[in-house]
Amino acid sequence: MAYMENYQEKRVDPGKLVPGTKTVVSVLLNYYPEEIQRHKDTPVISKYAYGRDYHFTVREKLKELFGFIKKNIYPELEGRWFTDSAPVLDRVWAVRAGLGWIGKNGNLISKKWGSFVFIGELMLNVEIDDEPPEIKNACGNCTRCIDACPTGAIVKPGVIDGGRCISYLTIEHKGNIPEEFNGKFRNRVFGCDICQDVCPWNSKLTSTTEPDFKPSERFLNLTSEQMMEMRESDFNEMFHESPLKRTGYNGFRRNILFLKKN
């Protein structure tokens, strides 16, 4: 993902992204679903895409939080809010804020919420005197995520080969999926949670209470046949505010056909 190399100065210095920034407030929002797709043979969609696109929901909540701080604490407040939508080191700021650590699969892991969380930030022009707790890496000697990755995308602890990651290949990758990945997708059609599903820190999670992330009955009951036969109009109607819009109908069809071929 070449775009990750862009705007490095802004990534490491929030003041270059939002002039006047003195404080970064980092937040997490749990998206772990209460129920997963019901038919075992149905191509698997990543849990983060079960409901409404998180960009909309998290931004709305950050805007509300910004307004609350401005109204009740700092009337002079200025700043911006982000969630995976600008050159921001989301996981690094979350670690600095004491929200968790970066696991061997590259995901932020919280002792309370695991890794099924969205990250958001407020960049503010006020200086907040705070000493967040330092959260030590608690992965220990565990290598479950590395061992479970079917494409070998986790090349070593904390280092991910994006070009081998199923999430990248099913969402960001353009063109045909390389033949070397035949039979390695484990029925994943959009994104991949394999390295998260095996993580011990995700073994006893509380389900999200956010209505926007609650999947519809229609989604939960999707069958393999229905996915295969889905027309573009059906796709647009079901996923009109979904993260699946990222890959679009053509990308979705490409992924379905790749799974069928394998």
The catalytically annotated residue of 13, 41, 53, 84 is 84
Other C-beta atoms within 10 Å of 122: how many?
21
Give 24-66 as a DSSP string: EEEEEEE---SS--S-TTSPEE-GGGSSS-HHHHHHHHHHHHH
DSSP structure class, residue 34:
S
DSSP structure class, residue 172:
I
Integer Cα distance of 93 and 17 in angstroms: 14
3-state secondary structure of 239: coil
Contact indicator for 57, 213 with CB cutoff of 8 Å: yes
- Whether 41 sits among the annotated catalytic residues: the reply is no
Contact indicator for 212, 60 with CB cutoff of 8 Å: no
Catalytic residue set: 84
